[in-house]
Amino acid sequence: KKLEEEQDKNAASQKTARNSMRKKERRQKGLGQTSTKNRIRAIERTLKRKGHLVPPEAQAVMRERLEALQLELKDVKLAELEREYSARYRRVKFFERKKLQRKLVQANTERANPKLSAKEKATLDSLRKELVQDLQYVMYFPRDMKYV
């Protein structure tokens, strides 16, 4: 009987240890926190349903918090959109960048040829300028827009 009680205690302590470890992992991953949308919704519902019970000073604080959370939500959505687009267009941008870099190296090596006439050098210079512009377009394209 004592053995069974000890086993039950051990099993219970192991279970609580597992639960605390899971909670710790969730906290580290950020899964245990309420989302910005949920916090906004909670404040809006409180103001709407229980607004007459809340003192005016507290209402003002809640409204300020609501505005701050709405700004935070915009930032969160923008960051999420940037993450999505950067993942979606990563390969395309990589291949275009490599292609432009390769063409730029070719244009530079051709330009270094001393046998070229002035007209050919001018056309190569204009080509190099165009390639550099295209390369800058690829590299500095805004992350929150679809890549065209």
Task: Return the axis-axis angle of helices 56-88 and 90-111, rounded to nearest 10°.
Answer: 50
pLDDT tens across 2-19, in order? Answer: 677 777 777 777 777 777
The whole-angstrom separation of Cα 65 and Cα 50 is 16
pTM of the model: 0.60
- DSSP, collapsed to helix, strand or coil, labels residue 143 as coil
pLDDT at 122: 92
pLDDT at 135: 95
- In the Cβ-directed half-sphere of 81, how many Cα atoms lie within 13 Å? 12
pLDDT at 14: 74
- DSSP, collapsed to helix, strand or coil, labels residue 17 as helix
pLDDT at 17: 74
DSSP state letter for 50: H
pLDDT at 10: 73
Q: Which residues of the chain have pLDDT under 50?
A: none
Residue 89 tokens, joined = 């267009």
